[in-house]
Every structure is written in C-alpha cells, then in structure tokens.
C-alpha cells in the first residue's frame, strides 16, 4: 500500500479560515486544517470546542459564515463528493418500535439493493458479503438495529459506511457508547480497515488515550486549531492546556502497553 506516497501527493481535507457563529456566539474562529490523504488522524477538543460544528461543516450540514472547505481535491461537500465519503455518527435515533434489522439497514445504504424489499435474504447477503465479513457482523444480520449494544452498533455503522467504498471516513466520537474493554478492539478494527483500504480516516473525539495510540496526526481544536502534530508532540501539557483550558488533566497513556488487570 502506497499510503506514504499518497499522503505526500494530496490533501483529503482542506479547510481555510473557517468562521461559524451559532446563536450569535462565535464557535469556529478561523479554522485552518489540512489532512493528507491516506492518513488516520484525530480531531480532539473539549466539549464546546467546535468539534461537532466543524464536522457538520465537513459533511455539508452546516453552512460556514466565511472561509472554505475543500474535500478530496474537488470542492465543498456536495452530493457528488458525499458519495465518496463515509460518515459514522455516535448513535442512531432509532425507536425500538421500528423493526429494522441489520441486514435491512445495510441493504438500504447500498444503492444497488433498492429492491431489497422483495429479495430473499441470501441474495441480499451475497451483495453485502465483503463489508459484512470485513467488519465481522455476519451473526448480527437478523438482529434489530435498535437492540444492538454500543460496540455492535458501531461495527454495523462502519460496515454500512464501507459499502460505498469511501475515500474519506469521518467518525464522530466513535467509542461514545462502547464499554472500556471494547474500545481497544474497536480502534484496532478501524486501524485495520485503514491499513487494508488505504482510505483517510478522521476520528473526532474527546478521548485522548486511544487517539494517542492509533492516530498518526492529532489536531487540537478550541475555536481554532491551537496545535497539531504527531500525537507525542500534541499531547504535551502546554499544548493541551491551550486546547482544553488550564484545569484539564489529560487522561492518556505515556507508554505503549496493553491493558491488563491493573486498570487505569
């Protein structure tokens, strides 16, 4: 895989002098960001730092007051570019009264399976085979989506976003509903997808520990990008103090190790 080569060639995300005000308050105050193609990066920041607003700008859900967003070397997020992107939200808004199964959820996200309603399950499974196997969700196919645990749902959401063969994958707080032991496995899985497919992955998170282990570059946001660089550079106290405020005590691993019974 020529990830390094690709990363020198192009930018998957380019944001210039982005300003957004919400309810009169400046949320983004001149964000400049360049994410090279093929990287797995993290966008971190405390609550209220504008992470969600920036993510919404990247997805075309929030119109900026000024500044520009250019994705995949093409332009601002529009229908054509969004087809080349994947988005994994924190959770779904599904009511338990809606009996949508995992198989059906994957089928409705795959453009070719528009006629899934009248197709037998095995035909749908054949169309979904690759992504389902990659994310190991085969045994969940018959389960209602509303009844999945946080970790299972995240797998299904990533699986569904891979069906379009995206070049850029945006994940919003991907481990928000995942229990602590499941987090490490989950990030390993994303890292594996990233390695195998060579796509650009942007993790938006306030969870520093896993980001530290898996992201190749970290961008700390607090209205503006206050620091960026390799995880070990950004995670030093001074940079984080700028991003998170003076009272913040970062929860992070200072050394690579696996989780044992001692906990953290």
> Can residue 112 be called a binding residue for another protein (CB under 8 A)?
no
Helical pair 150-162 and 180-197, crossing angle rounded to 10 deg: 10
> Can residue 114 be called a binding residue for another protein (CB under 8 A)?
yes
Pattern 132-151, another protein, x by CB under 8 A = ----------x-xx------
- Piece of the chain touching another protein by CB under 8 A; list 7-15, 106-114, 198-206, 209-217: 106-114
Cα-Cα-Cα-Cα torsion 172, 62, 92, 139, nearest 10 degrees, comes to -60
- CB-wise, 60 or 250, nearer to another protein? 60
User: Dihedrals φ, ψ of 155, to 5°?
Assistant: -60, -45
Distance CA 176, CA 246 (A): 24
Least distance in Å: CB of 108 to another protein?
Answer: 4
Distance CA 186, CA 174 (A): 9
Contact with another protein (CB under 8 A): which of 3, 21, 30, 59?
A: 59
The residues, ordered by sequence, that sit 6+ positions from 31 with a Cβ below 8 Å of its Cβ are: 15, 17, 18, 50, 54, 67, 221, 223, 224, 225
- DSSP, collapsed to helix, strand or coil, labels residue 172 as strand
> Can residue 104 be called a binding residue for another protein (CB under 8 A)?
yes
The residues, ordered by sequence, that sit 6+ positions from 235 with a Cβ below 8 Å of its Cβ are: 208, 212, 218, 250, 252
Least distance in Å: CB of 81 to another protein?
Answer: 10
Contact with another protein (CB under 8 A): which of 51, 103, 214, 217?
A: 103
- Do 41 and 217 form a contact (C-beta atoms < 8 A)? yes
> Can residue 109 be called a binding residue for another protein (CB under 8 A)?
yes
> Can residue 108 be called a binding residue for another protein (CB under 8 A)?
yes
> Can residue 87 be called a binding residue for another protein (CB under 8 A)?
yes
| Beta strands 66-71; 11-22: pairing state | antiparallel
Distance CA 259, CA 264 (A): 8
Contact with another protein (CB under 8 A): which of 24, 25, 47, 95?
A: 95
> Can residue 120 be called a binding residue for another protein (CB under 8 A)?
no
Least distance in Å: CB of 196 to another protein?
Answer: 23
Contact with another protein (CB under 8 A): which of 25, 93, 249, 254?
A: 93
DSSP-derived secondary structure for 33-84: EEEETT-EEEEE--TTSSHHHHHHHHTTSS--SEEEEEETTTBSS-HHHHTT
Contact with another protein (CB under 8 A): which of 9, 68, 83, 237?
A: 83
> Can residue 94 be called a binding residue for another protein (CB under 8 A)?
yes
- CB-wise, 111 or 260, nearer to another protein? 111
Total of residues contacting another protein (CB under 8 A): 30
Binding site for another protein (CB under 8 A): 56, 59-61, 79, 82-83, 85, 87, 89, 92-95, 97-101, 103-105, 108-109, 114, 116-117, 142, 144-145
């Amino acid at each position: 895989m020529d990830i390094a080569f690709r990363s020198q060639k192009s930018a998957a995300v380019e944001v210039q002098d982005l300003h957004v005000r919400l309810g009169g308050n400046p949320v983004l105050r001149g964000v400049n960001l360049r994410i090279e193609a093929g990287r797995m990066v993290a966008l971190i920041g405390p609550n209220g730092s504008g992470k969600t607003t920036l993510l919404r700008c990247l997805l075309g859900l929030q119109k900026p007051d000024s500044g520009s967003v250019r994705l995949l070397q093409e332009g601002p997020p529009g229908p054509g570019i969004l087809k080349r992107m994947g988005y994994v939200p924190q959770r779904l808004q599904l009511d338990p009264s809606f009996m949508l199964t995992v198989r059906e959820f994957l089928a409705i996200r795959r453009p070719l399976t528009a006629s899934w309603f009248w197709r037998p399950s095995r035909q749908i499974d054949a169309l979904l085979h690759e992504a389902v196997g990659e994310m190991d969700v085969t045994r969940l196919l018959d389960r209602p989506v509303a009844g999945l645990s946080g970790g299972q749902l995240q797998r299904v959401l990533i699986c569904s976003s891979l069906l379009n063969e995206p070049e850029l994958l945006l994940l919003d707080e991907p481990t928000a509903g995942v229990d602590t032991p499941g987090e490490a496995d989950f990030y390993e899985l994303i890292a594996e997808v990233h390695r195998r497919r060579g796509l650009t992955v942007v993790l938006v998170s306030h969870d520093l520990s896993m980001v530290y282990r898996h992201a190749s570059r970290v961008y700390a946001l607090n209205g503006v990008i206050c620091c960026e660089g390799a995880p070990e550079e950004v995670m030093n106290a001074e940079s984080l103090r700028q991003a998170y405020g003076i009272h913040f005590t970062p929860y992070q691993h200072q050394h690579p190790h696996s989780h044992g019974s001692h906990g953290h």
